[in-house]
Amino acid sequence: MQNIIKRTTIVTIAIALYIAVVLIVLPMLMPKKGDVIRIDCTWSEISPDFSPEMKNACRKARMVKPT
Whether residues 26 and 39 share a domain: the answer is: no
Q: pLDDT-derived band of residue 1, with 50, 70 and 90 as boundaries?
A: low
Whether residues 38 and 67 share a domain: the answer is: yes
Whether residues 63 and 43 share a domain: the answer is: yes
Whether residues 25 and 41 share a domain: the answer is: no
Q: How far apart are CA 26 and CA 8, in angstroms?
A: 26
Rounded to the nearest 5 degrees, what angle is found at the Cα of 48, between the Cα atoms of 40 and 42?
25
pLDDT at 38 over 80: no
Among positive and negative, which fits the CA dihedral 37, 43, 49, 53? positive
Mean pLDDT of the chain, nearest integer: 85
Whether residues 64 and 42 share a domain: the answer is: yes
Whether residues 46 and 67 share a domain: the answer is: yes
Whether residues 56 and 41 share a domain: the answer is: yes
Name the more confident of 33 and 44: 44
Q: How many CA atoms lie within 13 A of 34 on its CB side?
A: 0
Question: What is the tally of structural domains in the chain?
Answer: 2
State percent of the chain over pLDDT 70.
Answer: 94
Domain that holds residue 58: 33-67
pTM over 0.75: no
pLDDT at 37: 73
